[in-house]
Structures are given as C-alpha cells and as structure tokens.
Amino acid sequence: MGGRKLLKIDHNEPYLDVVWQVSNFCNYKCSYCNPGNYCGESRNDDNLITYINNLEVITDKYLELGYKNFKFFFSGGEPTLWRNLIPIIEWLREKLPNTVVAVNTNFSRPLSWWKRHYHLFDDVVASFHVEYADKDKYLENAKFMCDKLNYFSCKMLMHEERFWEVAEFGNKIKEELPNYFIEWTPLFDEMSANAGPWEYKDPNKTQFLKEHSIDQQFTIPKPYLKKPFYSEAYWDNGEKTGVYSNEVILERQNFFKGWECSIGDSIWINQIGQVSMGTCGQVKVLGNILWDTLDIGPKKIICQKEHCHCGTDILIPKRKVIDIVKE
C-alpha cells in the first residue's frame, strides 16, 4: 500500500451526516469536562414544532437532490435529558426511514428508559464517568443493551486519579457481559479546558493505554445489520477501499487544497443551534436550526486548506478538480 495516492473519497450512496450538540446541560460535572458542556445555559427544551419544521425544510432540500439516507449523531451535554430528543427521533424514523440514529450518552437514564427507547437507536456510545456514574445502574443497563443494537460501546474514560478503579470496572463488564465492546479512552484535550493531550503522571497508566485500546467479545446474537452507507476511497493504483481516517492520515493523503469537497454532506449544529458544515472552518456559520435555514443544504466548495485533519471531515466526499475537468 506504500506510495499510493488518493484520487477521490465518495459515499457509497449519498447521505447527509448531522452531528448535533443538542444542549449544554448535563446532570454530571466531570472534573475533566469543560463547564460549557454541562452548565445548562442552553437547555433548548422548548420549540419542538419549530425544530421539526426546520428539520423538514433542511432534509427536503437533500431529498430533492437524491439523498435518501441520513445519519444523526446526538451529543451534548447529556442528550438523553433533552426533552425534544425522543419526539425528534420518532419524527425522523417516520419521515426518513433510511436514517441511522446514534447517541453519545453518560448512560445515567434508568433501565426502564432504555427498555422504552432502545429500538429508536442504531448506535449507542455509553461513556463511563467514574466520578458520577452509578456502577450498578451502568452495568444493569449495559447487560440489557449488549444484544439489542448493532453497535453498543462502553467507553471507559480513564480518570487520572481513579484510573485503576475505572480499569477494574471495565474488567467487571468483561466478566459479566456476554457481548461487549470496550473503548479504553484516555482523556482528550477537547474535554478539558487545557490544550494538548492529557499526560498521565504514572508510566504504568500510559503503558496500560498503549496495551489496551479496544476489547471486544460477542457470544450471543445481536442484530448484525449491514452498514447501510459509508465512505469509500479511490486510489491511483486502482484500489477501492473503505475510508479509515487514521490510515489516510498515516499515508499523508489528507491534503486536499484545490479539491472539490462536498462539505454540505456534513452538518454540525452547536449547543445554541448554529449550523455550520465540516469542522475545518472552511464554511462558517450558515444559519440556525431554530430561525434561519435558508442557506443550509447540499454544498460543494473548492478546499482552500492545506491539511484536513479531523476524522469526520476526511470522510466527506471530495475529489481532485482535474478529474472533474476530464469527465
């Protein structure tokens, strides 16, 4: 694979990827989190009808241009506490049947909540935050969810002082769950107020993280649904492969200045409803999910940035302009 050059990234079928930080309210206040993610200044619990009307305006623009598929990834704050979450997902399920729904949750909702709503989700990332999580409740929920979804991940946030307690709890999950997918996750700079990666003081902790990234086991059936839509990479040696952002970065093929990028395939809605595209800053805020959707729709631009570094940005369809001229 050495030396090959990337020619194009495309989706196997057109789809719109929406990442939505629904609020900045969380019932936890993890010490490694930025207060802007839990303070609750923007709970956004009202305006359900406006959200739905505006979502319809936006998604209709994509449908008209042949996009049948959508992916919504809800985060926060804690998205399961957002009053509009379930009605909006129910609307998505009815109006846009080809929608993948994913959520990143602290898993603090009780088992009864997950029993009522698990069928609405395709992917659940259950983050374990040792300072606040109720371990028994987390384990009970995880046992229920482990055979219900295609993708259910226990994301263990490796707290500096309580590192080994988190490791012990992760091992308990491994002992008690017939299916598990555990991500041992070092604290990221994005979760702290400081820039730069989290440096663990104890070298044993760094060593543990070097040796453990993901642990998985599947011994009882789960849905195993085929991934309906995804990104594909076209290479100059004729290969067509799945897109693994890390691989693209390692092969130094993430330089797209002058390429045509379908940046409108990736929408970001922030905690105050502002809508932008991609994370690279090439398209600034275009509107607001509550009051300004005019400019939000499929969009292509010529990339002016040297370096495309975010995993989700790399997945966006893009191609060399020279190939467009040839066609």
Residue ranges in contact with ligand SF4 by CB under 6 A: 26, 28-30, 33, 37-38, 76-78, 106, 129, 191, 256, 261, 263, 278, 280, 282, 301, 303, 305, 308, 313, 316, 318
Instruction: Report whether 105 contacts 80 (CB < 8 A).
Output: yes
Of 264 and 287, which CB lies nearer to ligand SF4 in the complex structure?
Answer: 264
DSSP assignment of 42-60, as one string? ----S-HHHHHHHHHHHHH
Q: Which is closer to ligand SF4, CB of 150 or CB of 192?
A: 192
**Nearest Cα residue to 307 out of 263, 253, 264:** 253
Residue whose CB is less far from ligand SF4, 54 or 75: 75
C-beta closer to ligand SF4: residue 37 or 54: 37
**Selection from 46, 102, 56, 62 nearest residue 79 by Cα:** 102
**Closest separation between CB of residue 309 and ligand SF4, Å?**
8
Task: Count CB neighbours of 47 within 10 A.
Answer: 15
Q: CB of residue 316 vs ligand SF4: minimum separation in angstroms?
A: 5
CB of 245 to ligand SF4, least distance (A): 11
| Phi-psi map region of 122: left, alpha, beta (phi>0 left; psi -120 to 50 alpha) | alpha
**d(C-alpha 31, C-alpha 292), whole Å:** 35
Sign (positive or negative) of CA dihedral 177, 182, 187, 192: negative
CB 21 within 8 A of CB 275: no
> Quick count: other Cβ atoms within 10 Å of Cβ 48?
13
Instruction: Considering the complex, state which of residue 11 and residue 318 has its C-beta at the smaller distance from ligand SF4.
Output: 318
CB of 233 to ligand SF4, least distance (A): 13
Distance CA 217, CA 157 (A): 20
Q: How far is the CB of 147 from ligand SF4 (least distance, A)?
A: 25
Encoded tokens for 70: 């959508």
Closer CB to ligand SF4, 78 or 183, in the complex: 78
For the CB of residue 326, give the shortest distance to ligand SF4 in the complex, in Å.
Answer: 20
Task: Give yes or no for a contact between 301 and 263, defined as CB atoms under 8 angstroms apart.
Answer: yes
Question: Which residue's CB is nearer to ligand SF4, number 29 or number 119?
Answer: 29
Tell how far CA 182 is from the center of its chain: 16
CB of 327 to ligand SF4, least distance (A): 19
